[in-house]
Structure formats: structure tokens, C-alpha cells
Amino acid sequence: MNFPIDKFAHTQTPFYFYDIELLRQTLGEVSHMAEHYDFAVHFAVKANANPRILDEVRSYGLGIDCVSGNEVRAALEHGFDPKKIVYAGVGKADWEINLALDADIECFNVESIPEMEVINELAMAKGKVADIALRINPNVDAHTHQYITTGLEENKFGIGLWEVEAAAAKARELSNINLVGVHFHIGSQITDMGAFQALCTRINGLLRWFEEQKYLISVVNVGGGLGIDYEHPDEVPMPDFKAYFETFAKHLELRDGQKVHFELGRSLVAQCGSLITRVLYVKKGQKKQFAIVDAGMNDLIRPALYHAYHKIENISSSAPVEKYDVVGPVCESSDCFGKEVVLAGAKRGDLIAIRSAGAYGEVMSSRYNLRPFAESRFSE
Ligand code: LLP
């Protein structure tokens, strides 16, 4: 990526930098491919809720996948059509459900029978009927990091396969909810299409069962999870949406009138964002040296929380490369963006780009150590 370094020279660091052109290319590509297959895409706003990013996403006609009342509110405030808002989450509070009911959102992705009963009750009090999808835990291994696997029986998410029959019967019985779909999400940062194929196989069995039991399922929401290339952000700035959609087009056995929905987060926004930070000090130890930068784990927690890899570059220097542990100022040993990172020789004031940080970066930041939130800047 060509960073506008001159523009950065007098900018307060750290900040998130978003390449709007790459974002548009990615949104354009995903919209084009989805249209080709007649699939609907909802952006998983948990990945990035920056107002500018949301405006760009909306302009491509995508829907929104939310996991909290405030995410539903943010989607509404940014002009998303309520009929394109879906809402999942194992712990929806009453005020959150009410907010979504008042907005007449497209669909609640319901994660348990008790939740279904509460939605029914709250909808009844408003004289409404809420469309719901059963979020079913398909017990499919996504072969990804343990903290971002969601579709295994041991995870808290969704209705277990053993409970689907009871949940569907309950939905039929309750008067103020309307079962319209099924929903799945097996995990995040998935690069093996085989995992999605296994999901399709599981879904096919379930769709057969719903048909036999005379439930009318019109929405098949397969969640998100498509991974990106953290190692090669410049060479592979966009995931292979075609191969991804093709996997579902080929392996899902749909009935007439069934529409496939996706909830993509990371794959749409990760590569367009970088965390830009300055070197404060280069500290030489006996065995290693540290590049101490002014961004910390509060600004980007993924390396500390998941041992996630982000490519790190010194964008100010063309000096011969050296190895550094790139660390932040926060009082935790885990405040480290990368160990033994090969960087162009670093000195105080150099700008460092931590790449592929557009998803689950800014949105997961905190004010730990009472540090301020990083601001955001845009290429245009
Ligand atoms: N749908 C549901 C129900 C989800 O739980 C998620 C992500 C998505 C869609 C979007 O998944 P994506 O397309 O972004 O993989 N903070 C972690 C990732 C957590 C993902 C949570 N759920 C990270 O930084 O890697």
C-alpha cells in the first residue's frame, strides 16, 4: 500500500488509516459476486463501526448484521433499511429486543428457546409479530483459532442440533413470532473452503428435515467467517469471494424461494485499515532490541488476545533491515505487536504501519491505562 507519508508527517499518532479506494473495490467486488449468485450480504458491523466505513457500506446496498442494541441503533442512525438488519447474540437484553422490535428489523437470529419466549412476549405487548431465524449450532469444526470458533457443541452459541425439533415446535406454538429462517456461523478467519462445504452438508440435512415437517424456511443465513491473508496484505488485498460464494452455490441444496444470506465482517474491511504509530524509542537489550511505539494493546488488542499476526512495516525508513520486538507503552508484557519483526532500521519518529487492522481493530479498542482512543483518518 502506498501510504501518503507527507500527509502523515504532522498527524498525531496513533491513528487508524483507512484506504477508501480499497474498501470500495472490496465492496464492489462482493456486491457484484453476490448479485451474480443472487445472494444477500449483511455487513457484520461488529468488525468495524466507524461512521465513514458504515456510510461506504450502505452506499453499496448491503444489509447489516448486529449483535447488540447499540449496533442496531448505529445501523438505523446510518440510514440502513431496517428490513436489512438482522440481529444475533446469545444474551439479548429486553431493552435491546424492544429497540429492534420498534424498528421492525428484518430478523432476530434466536439462540435459545428461553430467548424465543421473551421475544414473543415483548412482541405481543407491542401487538407485533417478529420474524425470527433459529441460530443452529451445526457442530462443524472451522479449523480456526479456538477463541474465534463458534460452531462447535462446546461453544455457547446457537441452538444445539439435539434441540432443533423442540425449538421449531416452540416457534410454531408461539403466536407473536414467525419462523422464517435458519442461521449458522461456524467461526471467523476461515480460509479452508472445506469447512464451509461441511457446513453446507449439515444445512442440507436440516433443510430436508424442515421440509418434511412442513416448516416454510425462506432464509438460509450461513453467517460469515471468510478469512483474509494477514501475511500478504499487498499481494492479496481481497479474499476470493468467487470461490467462497461458489462453494455455497455448488453445495447447498435449496428449495424454491429460499434465499441465502451471508454475514461478512473481516473479509470486507480488514485489509483497508492500518494502525499507524510512531517509534518513541529504540531500546537495545543484550539479546534483542525493542521498537517502542506509541500505539498499545488498547488500540489493537488482537496480537495480545489471540496471538494474532499482523504484518508490521517501517514506512519512514529505507535503512537496512534489523529485528525488533515491536511493543507498546501499556503496562503489560502482552502489549507486544510482534516479536523478532524484520523492519527497515528504525529510529525515533519513524512511522510504523500495522497492517490488516480494519476489522476488529478500532472497534475493540479500549481506554486501558487511561489512554485516549486513536482517531481515524481516510485516504480521501
Ligand atoms: N455472524 C456472526 C453471528 C458472528 O458471530 C460473526 C463474528 C460474524 C458474522 C462475522 O464474522 P467474520 O466474517 O468477521 O469472520 N474479534 C475476533 C473475531 C470475532 C468474530 C466474532 N463473530 C478477531 O479479532 O479475530
Q: What is the DSSP string of 227-251?
A: ---SS-TTT--S--HHHHHHHHHHH
Distance from residue 190's CA to the centre of ligand 1 (Å) = 10
Q: Is the pLDDT of residue 217 over 90?
A: yes
What is the rounded CA–CA span in Å between residue 351 and residue 102?
A: 47
pLDDT of residue 155: 74
Cell numbers at 160, concatenated: 444445539
Return the best residue to mutate from 137, 182, 263 for the ligand 1 pocket (most ligand atoms within 8 A of CB): 263
Q: How far is CA 145 from the centre of its chain?
A: 14
Distance from residue 8's CA to the centre of ligand 1 (Å) = 31
**In ligand 1, which atom is closest to the CA atom of 264?**
13
Of 194, 299, 214, 199, residue with least CA distance to 255 = 214
Calculate helix-pair angle for 94-103, 69-77, nearest 10 degrees.
30
Cell numbers at 113, concatenated: 428457546
Is residue 188 in contact with ligand 1, taking CB distance under 6 Å? yes
Is residue 262 in contact with ligand 1, taking CB distance under 6 Å? no
Is residue 135 in contact with ligand 1, taking CB distance under 6 Å? no
Q: Cα-Cα-Cα-Cα dihedral of 272, 344, 369, 310, to 10°?
A: 40
Bridge pairing between strands 40-44 and 15-18: unpaired
Is residue 362 in contact with ligand 1, taking CB distance under 6 Å? no
Distance from residue 225's CA to the centre of ligand 1 (Å) = 6
**In ligand 1, which atom is closest to the CA atom of 265?**
14
Cell numbers at 246, concatenated: 461458489
pLDDT of residue 153: 66
Handedness of CA 359, 264, 157, 110 (dihedral sign): positive
Model confidence band, residue 371 (pLDDT cutoffs 50, 70, 90)? very high
Of 321, 322, 329, 231, residue with least CA distance to 279 = 329
What is the rounded CA–CA span in Å between residue 339 and residue 321?
A: 14
pLDDT of residue 141: 80
**In ligand 1, which atom is closest to the CA atom of 109?**
3
CB-based contact 250:215 (threshold 8 Å): no
Q: Cα-Cα-Cα-Cα dihedral of 47, 50, 53, 54, to 10°?
A: 90
Distance from residue 372's CA to the centre of ligand 1 (Å) = 25
Is residue 148 in contact with ligand 1, taking CB distance under 6 Å? yes
Model confidence band, residue 145 (pLDDT cutoffs 50, 70, 90)? low
Return the best residue to mutate from 57, 111, 188, 365 for the ligand 1 pocket (most ligand atoms within 8 A of CB): 188
- For residue range 172-216, list pLDDT tens digits in order: 999 999 999 999 999 999 999 999 999 999 999 999 999 999 999
Bridge pairing between strands 85-87 and 107-110: parallel
Model confidence band, residue 142 (pLDDT cutoffs 50, 70, 90)? confident
Of 227, 166, 171, 167, residue with least CA distance to 196 = 227
Count the Cβ atoms, other than its own, within 10 Å of residue 12.
11
Which residues are CB-neighbours of 370 under 8 A, at least 6 positions away?
none
What is the rounded CA–CA span in Å between residue 286 and residue 159?
A: 54
Q: How far is CA 230 from the centre of its chain?
A: 15
Return the best residue to mutate from 266, 301, 305 for the ligand 1 pocket (most ligand atoms within 8 A of CB): 266
Model confidence band, residue 2 (pLDDT cutoffs 50, 70, 90)? confident
End-to-end CA distance of the chain: 15
pLDDT of residue 157: 83
Distance from residue 265's CA to the centre of ligand 1 (Å) = 6
Distance from residue 188's CA to the centre of ligand 1 (Å) = 5
Q: Is the pLDDT of residue 144 over 70?
A: no
Calculate helix-pair angle for 164-173, 193-212, nearest 10 degrees.
50
pLDDT of residue 186: 92
Which residues are CB-neighbours of 53 under 8 A, at least 6 positions away?
18, 23, 269, 358
User: What are the φ/ψ torsions at residue 87 (nearest 5 degrees)?
Assistant: -135, 115
Distance from residue 82's CA to the centre of ligand 1 (Å) = 21
CB-based contact 136:182 (threshold 8 Å): yes
CB-based contact 107:134 (threshold 8 Å): no
**In ligand 1, which atom is closest to the CA atom of 88?**
3
Distance from residue 239's CA to the centre of ligand 1 (Å) = 16
Give me the mean pLDDT over the 136-148 stretch. Answer: 77
Distance from residue 27's CA to the centre of ligand 1 (Å) = 18
- For residue range 24-46, list pLDDT tens digits in order: 999 999 999 999 999 999 999 99
CB-based contact 346:317 (threshold 8 Å): yes
Is residue 360 in contact with ligand 1, taking CB distance under 6 Å? yes
Which residues are CB-neighbours of 86 under 8 A, at least 6 positions away?
42, 63, 64, 65, 66, 105, 106, 107, 108, 109, 133, 183, 221, 261, 263
Nearest CA to ligand 1 atom 23: 360
Distance from residue 185's CA to the centre of ligand 1 (Å) = 8
